[in-house]
Amino acid sequence: MLTLVVRMILSIDKLNAWYGKLQVLHDIDMHFNTGEIVSIIGPNGAGKSTVLKSIFNLIKKKGRIIYKNKNITKYTPQQIAKAGITYVPQGRSVFTDLTVHENIEIGAFIKPGNPWKDFKRVYTMFPNLKDLKNTRAGLLSGGEQQMTAIARALMLKPRVLLLDEPTLGLSPKVRTLIFDKIIEINKTGVTIIMVEQNAKRSLEISNRAYVLEICRNKYSGRGKQLLEDQRIKKLYLGGK
């Protein structure tokens, strides 16, 4: 019988974070294994997005971020991206005056050489973006802008992809498409750490999940187990 070896790719140890003088994370511990989808859910203001910002060093923090056995706590965002972690922030952050192609090309700004192979790869994954590559991003629909932002993050062939509210404000049909793309990306071997308000669907596709409450770890477990947990249903999934 083959034994499956689970390898941790990223861990967070005793993470505390602040916006100014306001502390928004308290002693958060998390770990993420290679090839997983891990969701971070919880009520508004629980600090979910702050976890991703802390990993990418966009906020004042204390604690340790370990990636592939290296302490990256003090790495700059550029160093973190170069190491293999990319980040798609909340709000479909595209450059509206640039074309789709130009937006995606920005994702390869720290990668040497000609990125044509990377364009081919992301356009294969998002064929509709190839058709729109000469269109200004400001003219795209919300779903197309979000796909452009994700495609840009994939240009560096990340080992870990951080997604902050990837389906926020999108129609049900487009939300389904984005979740399908997340699964497709994960199948290529990319570890995905996702903050998502659609807790039910995110738990359905996640290997594991963490639940934050009042800026602290509240629960953790396998996605489908949390989906059936009566406490989680009552507090976060609208169940009884």
- Residue 232 to residue 212: CA distance in whole angstroms: 11
In a domain, 2, yes or no: no
Strands (E), 118-180: 160-164
- What contacts 103, CB < 8 A, 6 or more positions away? 94, 95, 137, 148, 149, 152
Residue 24 lies in a domain: no
CA–CA gap between residue 212 and residue 46 (Å, rounded): 6
| Contact indicator for 209, 20 with CB cutoff of 8 Å | no
The pLDDT score that the predictor gives to residue 238 is 62
Backbone φ and ψ for 93, nearest 5 degrees, come out as -80, 85
Q: CA 211 to CA 214: how far, in whole Å?
A: 10
49 is a domain residue: yes
pLDDT value of position 239: 55
Q: Does residue 153 fall inside a structural domain?
A: yes
Q: pLDDT per residue over 35-85, tens digit each?
A: 999 999 988 888 999 999 999 999 999 999 999 999 999 999 999 999 999
Distance of CA 37 to the CA centre of its chain: 9
- Containing 208, the helix (H) or strand (E) segment is strand 208-213
Mean pLDDT to the nearest integer, 169-186? 95
Parent domain of 79: 38-236
Q: In the chain, how many domains are there?
A: 1
- Domain assignment present for 63: yes
Residue 19 belongs to a domain: no
21 in a structural domain:
no
Strand partners, 42: none
Report how far residue 132's alpha carbon sits from residue 128's, in angstroms, rounded to the nearest whole number.
6
Looking at every residue in the chain, the average pLDDT score rounds to 92
CATH code for the domain of 103: 3.40.50.300
* Closest CA relative to residue 68, chosen from 96, 19, 33: 33
**What confidence category does residue 1 fall into, taking pLDDT thresholds of 50, 70 and 90?**
very low
Distance CA 6, CA 76 (A): 28
Task: Give the model confidence (pLDDT) of 178-195 as tens digits.
Answer: 999 999 999 999 999 999
Q: Which two tokens stand for residue 113?
A: 């050489």
Does residue 27 belong to any structural domain of this protein?
Answer: no
| Model confidence band, residue 221 (pLDDT cutoffs 50, 70, 90) | confident
